[in-house]
A = this chain, B = another copy of it.
Amino acid sequence: MRGLKEEILESVGQDLVEIEAALTQNLKPYLPLVSHVAKYIMFSGGKRIRPLLMVLSARLCGYKGDYDKTLSVVFEYLHVATLLHDDLVDGADVRRGNPVAHSIWGNPATVLVGDFLLARSMGIAIQTNSTSIIDVLAHTMAQMSEGEIHQLLHRGDLAIDERDYMEMIRRKTAYLIRAACQVGALLSEAPEGRVQALADYGHHMGIAVQMIDDLLDYTADAEVLGKATGTDLREGKLTLPIICALNHATSEDRRRLETIIGDTDITESDFETVLELIEKYGGIAYTIGRAEEHIEKAKEYLGIFNASKPRTLLEQLADYVLVREL
């Protein structure tokens, strides 16, 4: 039986080809180094889910123009700018199986190429002449930076609860995916109700995407993931699986978790212990359950649209979030 992924890819293959081309064509830097750094991170296995969601949202709203692929790169550029700044922030070594940009080009170039991508995003968006679109993007940039700072402040914070977690991932991940869908509708000059429905779809998609990302950091095959599992734990990022475990653990198990989390050097065996405790207290199942709820909500928001190919694709992409392996 053909998988969901293959079915989606068959439908959007041409879109993805055009998005890839647009990603290169719209970079337009004055300095070659900017291209090198940006392309290094941009063409190292990204799934282009954000540009694709924008393109499909525009299509769902009946967009007939020719600026959708160009505009869609904004959502990859913003994403990549965040990765460049976050990898630095996180002190990460590896992303998608490759050394992170700042370990090759240094912090300076990494920060500045991130800035260049933020600037290019605005430059591309302004060509739509739509202040609503620019407004969404300006808000998105502010939300993302505050989400990252929020996460930074909660690093290693054992008192973090699910509400904090939700607030962080809403800003740092969901807002950009929400923006991609919303901007697709705005580009099509869709009525307010449709813009809002796609924004809501994007929000719930974004929450689920981050929940599953956080889950995979515990459960994925390291080779598929392109980095060691347990990275979040080692960086002091407490995500939903472990928050759930901390909430339900006996005081003895909680102490075991706290000791490991507080440790500066988490061994493989420590990580195994954490994984066992997360399983014991249902942290994996809980996270999947919450992600499923958000995917269901996301799909419900598409209910105001008549059945159509783009609507089906947006539903399939939502379902795919739950079954992807990386």
Asked if A152 and B112 make an inter-chain contact with CB atoms under 8 angstroms apart, the answer reads: yes
Stretch of A139-147, A179-187, A296-304, A311-319 on the interface side: A139-147
Instruction: Tell me which residues across on chain B come within 8 A of A30, comparing CB atoms.
Output: 146, 150
* Interface size grouping (class) on chain A: 35 or more
Instruction: Tell me which residues across on chain B come within 8 A of A149, comparing CB atoms.
Output: 31, 33-34, 109, 112-113, 116
Contact with A153, one of B33, B116, B146 (Cβ below 8 angstroms): B33
Q: Is residue A22 within 8 Å, beta carbon to beta carbon, of the partner chain?
A: no
Asked if B118 and A89 make an inter-chain contact with CB atoms under 8 angstroms apart, the answer reads: no
Asked if B33 and A145 make an inter-chain contact with CB atoms under 8 angstroms apart, the answer reads: no
CA distance A131 to B107 in the complex (A): 33
Q: Is residue A200 within 8 Å, beta carbon to beta carbon, of the partner chain?
A: no
112-171 of chain A: CB within 8 A of chain B: 112-116, 118-120, 122-123, 125-126, 129, 131, 134-135, 137-142, 144-146, 148-150, 152-153
Question: Within the complex, what minimum Cβ distance (angstroms) separates A144 from chain B?
Answer: 8
Contact with A126, one of B112, B131, B140 (Cβ below 8 angstroms): B131
7 smallest beta-carbon distances between A and B, as pairs: A119-B141, A122-B138, A89-B108, A119-B142, A115-B145, A123-B138, A116-B145
Since A114-B115, A122-B134 are in contact, a sample of 12 more A-B pairs with Cβ atoms closer than 8 Å, ordered by chain A residue number, is A30-B150, A33-B153, A85-B111, A89-B111, A90-B108, A107-B107, A112-B148, A113-B145, A119-B139, A120-B138, A120-B142, A122-B122
Q: Using CB atoms and an 8 Å cutoff, list the residues of chain A in contact with chain B.
A: 29-31, 33-34, 85, 88-90, 107-109, 111-116, 118-120, 122-123, 125-126, 129, 131, 134-135, 137-142, 144-146, 148-150, 152-153
